[in-house]
Amino acid sequence: MKYIQHLTLNKKFILGVGIIVVVFWCMFSLLIYVTLKDTIIEETYEKTEILFSHIKATIKYTREKLRPKLYKLLPDKTFVAEAMSVSFINKQIMEEFKRYFPDFIYRRVAINPMNPSNKPDHDEIKLIKMFKEQPENEWKGMINKSGQRYFLLPHHITC
C-alpha cells in the first residue's frame, strides 16, 4: 500500500485503468467460455438427435417396408438378419459411422438382450430403471465413467 502512495498521479491512473481492463477482460472471457460451452453442448445434442432420427427412420423402414416384403418373397419362417433384423442393421450402420466419428459411442442395451454384447453396465441399468419408473422423463447430460466425461442422450427405441 505504501508503494502506491509514492506513485505519481499519471502512474496511478494507468494502474487503475489496467486493473479495470483486466477485470473486464476476465468477465468477458468468462462470459465467452460459458456461452461457447453451452453452444457446443446444445450442438452436440442436436447432432445426436439427427443421428437418432436416422436410426428411427431405418427401424421404421425395416419394419414397415423391407421385412414385410421379404416375408412375402422368401420361404416360410425364413429370417435374414442382414436385411430383417433392426438390431443387426443398426449395429452395422453404426460400425461404419464409427469409422468417420471414432469418438462417438452408440450403445443399444436391454435388460435381457438376445445378444450378450447388448447387456447394460451398472450405470445403464440405473438409467433403464429410471426411465421405466418415469417414462416421461427426457433426461440428458454428462456423466463421468472410467475417468472420462461423456455426453449421454438416452433414447427409448423398441424393436
Rounded CA separation 129/139 (Å): 13
Q: For residue 148, what are the contacts with CB-CB under 8 A and spacing of at least 6?
A: none
Return the domain boundaries, the chain: 11-152
- Residue pLDDT, tens place only, 77-116: 888 888 888 888 888 888 898 899 888 888 778 888 877 8
- Residue pLDDT, tens place only, 1-29: 566 677 788 888 998 999 999 999 999 99
148-152 and 141-145: which strand pairing?
A: antiparallel
pLDDT of residue 10: 87
State the pTM of this model. 0.63
| Structure confidence at residue 158 as a pLDDT band (50, 70, 90) | low
Rounded CA separation 122/115 (Å): 17
Closest to 91 measured CA to CA, from 68, 109, 69: 109
Per DSSP, the three-state class of 150 is: strand
